[in-house]
A and B are shown apart, each in its own frame.
Chain A
């Protein structure tokens, strides 16, 4: 199991974000202990990415706070940000830089010395199998290649907290397996991981704890077994569907099928 926990590495207190008349995140309270991998699930538009953006200082909460390793992201942003690594959902990169240049830029932003940053960057790119293209600009990279660079950039400065928003997006099966194992390994070393995803099988395998968000509110919180007990579903997929689905799934599938083929079902 993970490193013993004494305090929360990530603490959200009544975290709220309102966009005009929409409440994207509505008073989320969450304490994630050090060394835990916390899966953050929810249907599209539930408020997952908005939570990550507030927790990483990209958006200011309308109210409430996010505290990273004891530093309030609103009051001590630089101290908090220095401790986190982020793989954003958008996959934004300066694509006209080469991976080596991009990682060098990131290394400098986190005050790594040049040799250390370059050494680590080379190793990461080698391990991810993209060292041979590390001198090319990323404009022609595939989604998976860019994702590898983003993951490398998130890990470069050895952060104690990781925010990963769909980190497996575009990755091939081997790299995905490596990353899943890596996350377990990093957690066992005391790193805290906030993992947003729609891929329930992966969340089920990787995460110690799962938080489900719907309409900006936490509707379930526990490990996989606890959630199954809560809903009497046999799998995480069943739990998720039971808690968040707005309609009867077979009916939806039938309606879609009829719409696609034009053939009425029974």
Chain B
């Protein structure tokens, strides 16, 4: 057409309907920015903006930590790998809202929208989501690096550019893992392993993140200009090498890294995006609403585990039992809920593996091998405590939140009993088995008494955090709409938890190292504090939930 704009012409030539594309993009961006109804959504800032602020703070912390690093490659490597790591986590945890919205299929499949148009709209939405994350994560290090590193402004420019492309490629790689898995295994098997893919990818990412500094520490040659073959296997190094080259300080290896970054990104983005279609959205839609039947006998009866029976026996009122049984059913069958909480276990286990490899595990009665009070073991302890946070937010949110009218219509004397029962289920079904497993794993690397003591210190801290954090989400179980900013909020809470729990953990261990005889009273005190926290929070929740209203 003669008067057609070039963009529209190119779109039409590629089978993309420009008018539809524009409308879908605008709607997608509005949906990204709009406030959801639960929790933080009632604030004035859109959830996505809150998430960006959190990422910006993290980017700033990273940049401040790197300010004295004089090697441009190392500087860029760390900043870009952090941005890639956070992007991957964001896409993993928010996959069904960022990449393919489960409602897309129901709303769009009967409308005349071609797969190509839909696919480009999704690319646009993903760019919209990932680019700001990449920008806020890399901009602080770009600004500081512009002052501290020789190339100045040029470094900042290429560092940001490299960071954005790296993050987009990371997002695409996560998409590829999902869609690729769906292609090689049957749909039924895929639905069964989906939850574990979440946790597995998280574990791999955390492991890589913690091992990279160790690799560099162990082999200083890694940081020299004549870098080893490892740089070809580490995608963040491709981008850091590219930044180095583009600022005029690289060599022939940097040319290879630039080519790998460009080719790798193009390939992974093209491959991942070509897999997205409305049909894929149907699969995702089915996936998020279908149920897991792993624990059920062929006649439909549920296979109850011993911890379930013990937990149920510990409950008093009918509302507590109702909450316990409800949460048990959802944890078994709601794949999305499982996928939101299972990565929580990947984090401490990844740090455990890293610490095992680095010989950083030590009995709480002795100092860490390098004398540093914050060794990997303490970070692992923090992640163990952090597990409770995943449950705190996840257990109140579901796609079927409107079914919670039942809690308000039923003649409950104490509505908080339902939440108490649900929380008890989390403790019995997940936290107790997890800490028992942790005890077994730690026993492999330290004396049994040390392992038991560490668990007995960290577990009550986790329980106390579980109680206190529920004040931040004082809702009936499964009564809130799923929020998109969950991950960013969790990171924020993690920072707060870290600043309070790590010093406490260190202080407790120091006291035990100085006076081993005090171990018993210390452990008893921690358990007592956890009990008090549970009581105090329980009373507050009782008052709060008694005044609660159904918002559907």
**Contacts from A to B (Cβ < 8 Å):** 56-58, 77-79, 81-82, 84, 86, 88, 90, 92-94, 96-97, 101-102, 104-106, 108-111, 137, 139-140, 163
Contacts and interface: CB of A to CB of B under 8 A. Distances in A.
Contact of B105 (A58, A78, A79, A105): A58
Given A101-B27, A108-B22, A108-B23, A96 B34 contact: yes
Interface in B107-132: 107-114
In this complex, the member of B17, B26, B30, B111 whose beta carbon has the largest number of chain A beta carbons within 10 angstroms is B111
Contacts of B71: none
A56 B278 CA distance: 14
Contacts of A97: 27, 30-31, 34
B24 interface: yes
B106 interface: yes
B36 A104 contact: no
A105 B24 contact: yes
A78 B114 contact: yes
Interface in B20-40: 20, 22-24, 26-27, 30-31, 34-37
B19 interface: yes
23 contacts: A79-B112, A81-B111, A82-B112, A84-B110, A88-B106, A90-B106, A92-B106, A94-B27, A94-B103, A94-B107, A97-B27, A101-B27, A101-B30, A102-B27, A106-B111, A108-B23, A109-B23, A109-B24, A111-B17, A137-B34, A139-B36, A139-B481, A163-B110
Nearest to A73: B110
A92 B104 CA distance: 9
A79 B22 CA distance: 20
B110 to A, nearest CB: 4
A91 to B, nearest CB: 9
A245 to B, nearest CB: 25
Contacts of B282: 58
A58 B27 contact: no
A86 B112 contact: no
A92 B103 contact: yes
A94 B36 CA distance: 12
B19 A58 contact: no
A170 to B, nearest CB: 13
A163 B109 CA distance: 14
Contacts of A102: 27
Given A90-B106, A101-B27, A137-B34, A108 B114 contact: no
Contacts of A93: 103, 107
B438 to A, nearest CB: 40
A-B CB proximity, top 3 nearest? A108-B23, A92-B106, A56-B110
B363 to A, nearest CB: 52
Contacts of A84: 110
Contacts of A94: 27, 31, 103, 107
B50 to A, nearest CB: 16
Given A78-B112, A88-B110, A96-B34, 10 more contacts: A58-B109, A86-B110, A92-B106, A97-B27, A97-B31, A101-B30, A105-B26, A109-B108, A109-B113, A140-B37
Given A94-B103, A96-B31, A105-B27, A81 B37 contact: no
A41 B265 CA distance: 52
Contacts of A79: 112
B215 to A, nearest CB: 44
A79 B34 CA distance: 33
A57 B110 contact: yes
Contacts of B31: 94, 96-97
Contacts of B106: 58, 88, 90, 92
Contacts of B109: 56-58
A109 B24 CA distance: 8
Interface in B440-485: 481
B30 A111 contact: no
A139 to B, nearest CB: 5
B279 to A, nearest CB: 8
A51 to B, nearest CB: 13
Contact of A81 (B26, B103, B110, B481): B110
A105 B23 contact: yes
A86 B30 CA distance: 24
Nearest to A91: B106
B291 to A, nearest CB: 15
A86 B107 CA distance: 10
B39 to A, nearest CB: 14
B111 A109 contact: yes
B112 A77 contact: yes
A79 B114 CA distance: 11
A179 B79 CA distance: 60
Given A97-B27, A101-B30, A105-B27, A92 B107 contact: yes
Contacts of A108: 19-20, 22-23
Contacts of B24: 105, 109
Contacts of A82: 112
A175 B111 CA distance: 25
Nearest to B37: A139
Contacts of B105: 58
Contacts of A92: 103, 106-107
A94 B35 CA distance: 13
Nearest to B285: A92
Nearest to B114: A78
A110 B111 contact: yes
Given A88-B106, A94-B27, A96-B36, A111 B111 contact: no
B3 to A, nearest CB: 16
Contacts of B113: 109
A110 B110 contact: no
A113 B512 CA distance: 75
Nearest to B33: A96
In this complex, the member of A82, A111, A139 whose beta carbon has the largest number of chain B beta carbons within 10 angstroms is A139
Contacts of B26: 105
B112 A58 contact: no
Nearest to A96: B34
Interface in B297-313: none
Nearest to B109: A58
B133 to A, nearest CB: 20
Nearest to A150: B107
A108 B57 CA distance: 39
Nearest to B27: A105
A110 B112 CA distance: 7
Contacts of B34: 96-97, 137
A57 B113 CA distance: 11
A86 B110 CA distance: 7
A140 B103 CA distance: 18
Nearest to A80: B112
Contact of A104 (B23, B37, B110, B112): B23
A81 B112 contact: yes
A110 B111 CA distance: 8
A58 B111 contact: no
Contacts of A56: 109-110
A58 B285 CA distance: 12
A56 B103 CA distance: 16
Nearest to A83: B112
A65 B23 CA distance: 31
